[in-house]
Amino acid sequence: MEKIKVKKLYCGFVSVRDYIIKKCLKEQKGIILKFEDKIMTIPYNKLKVFQLHKRKFKSKFNNKEYELVDFKFIPDNIKTKQIKLF
């Protein structure tokens, strides 16, 4: 699993750069997102369904272009609690 530390959420969503998603898909592994003290795990089979922004961004460091992939941030412990309710 690829581990990524997230600095901010926007309207409950977290953005991940597309080249990280493509790398994980190629290596057939999921992603672990960490925001503050909360962790969200996205398995490999859920990475296949994602939406890219139409806009391309440029990195400040290496001038590389990338797009962002948004995921609704639902921490793992909340998912477990929701499953128990049903």
pLDDT digits (tens, 9 = 90+) for 25-58: 999 999 999 999 999 999 998 887 656 667 888 9
- Beta strands of 1-86 (E only): which ranges? 2-6, 13-17, 31-35, 38-42, 57-58, 65-66, 68-72
pTM for this model (two decimals): 0.78
Burial pattern 35-71, b for ≥16 Cβ within 10 A else e, equals beeeebebeeeebeeeeeeeeeeeeeeeeeebbbbbb
Structural domain span for residue 80: 2-85
Name the domain count of the chain: 1
